[in-house]
Each structure stands twice: as C-alpha cells, then as structure tokens.
Amino acid sequence: MNNIINLIQQRHLYAFKRFVPFIAWVAAAFWAVGTWSDRHSALMFSGQVVADSWEVSGITTGVVKDIRVKLYDNVEKGQLLASLDDSAFLAELEVSRKELTRLESQVVAVETELESGVAEMSGDWTSDLRRFQVDVQRLRIEVLDLDLQEKKLQANLRGQQDTRESSSKRAEILSAKEVIAETEWQRLELLSSQGSVAVADANRARRQWLDVVNERLIVEQELQLANGQIETLDSTLKSLALSGVANQEQLLLAQQRFDEFVDTQPGAAALTNDPRVQTVQDAVNVQTAKLESLAVQYRALQLRAESAGVVTSILAQPGQSVLPGEPVALLTNSTPTQALGWLKQRIKPEVIVDLEFSLVMEGNIEISVVLDTVAPVFEQMPQVLWMNPGVPEYGQPVLFKLPSGTTLLPGEPVVFSTLL
C-alpha cells in the first residue's frame, strides 16, 4: 500500500513540475496584458454635434406682418424670412409726397420771381446764375418725385405679392375642401335615392358644396386680380427706372451747365448765395435725407437671411410686436463642422494634445477627428447626454473638428474614443 501511495505522489510531483513553465508563461502573459492595458486603456466619452446658429432680428420696432418660412425649411442667402407691417412707412411716404408737392410750388414761385426780375434788368449775370441754380433744384425735385413714386409702387407690389401668396394657399385648401364636400353630397344623394337618408340631408350637403365652390371662385378671382396688378406694377416700375436714369442724366447736365456758367466769371462765388434759392436748396437737401431714411426704413421691414441655413426655431408670430434686436427666427448651419465632447476625468494638457481621437458612428465605424480646443473648466453637460435624466453630469468640454463629408446632424449625440 505504501508503495502505491509513493508512486501516486511521484506522478503528481512530476505532473506539477511539467506544467510549472506553462503556468508561469500564462501568468506572465496576463501580467503583460494587464500592464499594457494600464498604459493603453481605451477612454470613451460622450459628446454632441454642434453647428453655428444665429438669430434673425430687425433694426426697428414693428409688428410682424407675416412669416414666409416654415420650421426646418432650408433657406438661401438673401431669402425673405419675415416682414413687418408697413402702415407707418406708407404714412410717412405720403407725408413726404405732400412736402415734395409744396416744394415744387415753392420752386415755381421762385422761378416766376426770377423771371420778373430778368425782365427789368436784361442780361444781368447774377439773374442768369439764379436761373441755373433753380433749374438744378427743380431737376433734383423731379428725381426725388420719381424716387417717391418708386417706393410707393414697391410697397404696393409687396402687398399684391402677399395677396397672391395668401390667395394661392386659400385656393389650394378650398379645392381640397370642395372635393370632400362634393363626395359627401354624392354619397348622401345616392343614399337618399335608396331611401336610407332624408332628401333634405342630401340637399343640405349640395348647398354646402356649392358654397365651397363659390368661395373658391371668389378666391381664384382675387388671385387673378393680384397677378394682373403685379404685372402692371412690374411694368410701371421698369418704366420709372428708365425715367429715373433719364432724369439723373438731365440733372448731371444741368449741374455741368451751372458749373461752366460760374466759371465764366471767376471770383463771383459770393453772388451764388441768393436767400430765395438757398431756401429751396436747403429744403431739397432735407427731402433727400428723408427719402434716404425711408429707404433704410423700408429695407428694415424685410427680414432676410444673411447666409444659407436651416430654420430651427420661429420665435415670433404674425401680429406680434417686436423691438429692435428682438429675434424673429433662429437659423442653423445645415453642414456642421464641429463636435463637442465632455471628458469626465482630467487629463494633463501636455498629454491630451498628443492623443489621437476618433468619433464612433453607427455600426462601430470610427472616423478620425482633430482636436481643436480644450476648455479650462468643468461644466454641466447637456441633459440629453445624462445617463440618468434626473442626475446632472459634468465634464471638461473638448471641441473637435469634423472631417468634411460627414452625414451627422446638428445636435446629434456622438461618442468619442482614444487610447491613453
């Protein structure tokens, strides 16, 4: 029995000695892997795609007349987004028109007075000079008059374009409503012929259908009228533009003749300051400044996109009063170029700049991103990135540049990874 026990012990000892190198190798391998993992551990942290956003606001106080875009519409640079009510602008335009008419009468009175003076002293150089001055001011008034007409026509054109857009939408809605009403009438008429419903119900459905048809015809008539007005206004504006060019050329010629006439008698500049002519000239200068102000005011009534983007928020509604600088809409760049991550553990700046970062996309596809900026603070992360919606999380913001051609959307949550 002792011999058998000794034999078994010897065999166990032999087996142990045989597997000791293997066990040692496995232990060494595990130690090496653990050591490498400690030195090259994978760090993963969450983030979010960010894109440039900017507010669209006006430079004047007004009431929103209409919003020309819908939420998430793609807009181009210069596209009209919203417009403010132009009632005050039209009122000021009418006041300027009346002031200009009064100024025209004043010029006529000065011309009449100068002509009577010329009859008494024929060939007087100073009288001729005054007539040249009045000619220049009269042509300036004609230019201002055309400018006023153009601004009024542009305001009318804008109103007709609004009517056309509104009528077009109403006509589309009424057409769909007409189809539904007609289908209902035909259904009830069939049932009434079978005795399933009263004839009065079918007749009532028919009247409702005819009311919708009549309303649609009225709206389509309004639409045709608006289209006709738009064509007429377009044609008139083109004619005014040609007349404006001609008037500007005449004004330049009149100014040139005046300057040439003054040069015929050097040293007579003091004689050009006739109070009557100077009064007219000052009044024309005031009207010119007013029209320039009205032009700025008219442009301020139209809120346009400064650059292409996507409408991500509409912050005002028609009929709402807005102050200068108060946002009406929010635009966002449709092609994001940056993403923001939040590191939950602090990494030394000299270490983080040498790390290579990747963005993990769907299907575990990784794309390389370039480190841009590391914020020197820890701050609260966006709630969409919290593991528990009720427990705020904090991290150090890190900004990355995205490669071109990515299909990521602004605000989309992402995951970053790197090896430490």
Q: What is the CATH number of the domain that holds 411?
A: 2.40.30
Whether 187 is in a domain gets the answer yes
Q: How far is CA 226 from CA 47, 167, 181, 292, in A?
A: 52, 9, 27, 29
The CA-based diameter of the chain, rounded to the nearest angstrom, is 163
Element (H, E) at 49: strand 42-50
What gap in Å lies between CA 21 and CA 300, rounded to an integer?
86
Conformational region of residue 363, where left means phi above 0, alpha means psi within -120 to 50, and beta covers everything else: left
**Confidence (pLDDT) at 268:** 54
Residue type, 43: L
Residues 100 and 159 in one domain: yes
Average pLDDT, stretch 60-72? 88
Average pLDDT, stretch 343-367? 84
CA dihedral 88, 91, 92, 95 (to 10 degrees): -160
Element (H, E) at 37: helix 2-39
Global pTM reads: 0.59
Number of domains in the chain: 3
For 167, other C-beta atoms within 10 Å of its C-beta total: 20
Average pLDDT, stretch 237-261? 85
E-strand ranges in 273-363 read 302-304, 309-314, 321-322, 327-332, 338-343, 357-361
Calculate what percentage of the chain has a pLDDT beyond 70: 85
Average pLDDT, stretch 272-283? 72
Token pair listed for 70:
């819908």
**Confidence (pLDDT) at 226:** 87
Residues 196 and 231 in one domain: yes
**Confidence (pLDDT) at 383:** 86
Token pair listed for 168:
């077009």
Per residue in 166-182, pLDDT (tens digit) is 788 888 888 999 999 99
Token pair listed for 103:
């100024």
Per residue in 324-354, pLDDT (tens digit) is 889 999 998 888 889 999 998 888 878 888 8
Instruction: Judge whether 272 and 133 are in contact, CB under 8 Å.
Output: yes
Q: Closest Cα to residue 135, out of 243, 260, 240, 245?
A: 260
Last residue of one domain, picked from the residues 277, 300, 323: 300
- The single residue listed with the structure tokens 């928020």 is 313
* Low-confidence winner among 131-135, 250-254, 300-304, 400-404 (lowest mean pLDDT): 131-135
Residue 360 β-bridge partners: 366, 415
**Confidence (pLDDT) at 167:** 84
What gap in Å lies between CA 157 and CA 154, rounded to an integer?
5
**Confidence (pLDDT) at 11:** 54
Q: What is the residue-averaged pLDDT of the chain?
A: 80
Q: Closest Cα to residue 309, out of 42, 26, 81?
A: 81
Whether 59 is in a domain gets the answer no
Token pair listed for 97:
């028109």
Residues 258 and 352 in one domain: no
**Confidence (pLDDT) at 401:** 92
* Low-confidence winner among 137-141, 185-189, 399-403 (lowest mean pLDDT): 137-141
Whether 212 is in a domain gets the answer yes
Report residue 94: phi and psi, to 5°: -70, -40
What gap in Å lies between CA 241 and CA 246, rounded to an integer?
9
Residues 295 and 215 in one domain: yes
The answer, yes or no, to whether residue 420 has pLDDT greater than 50, is yes
**Confidence (pLDDT) at 283:** 80
Domain of 12, in residue numbers: 2-40
Residues 281 and 344 in one domain: no
Average pLDDT, stretch 203-216? 91
Whether 205 is in a domain gets the answer yes
Per residue in 279-293, pLDDT (tens digit) is 777 888 888 888 888
The answer, yes or no, to whether residue 28 has pLDDT greater than 50, is no
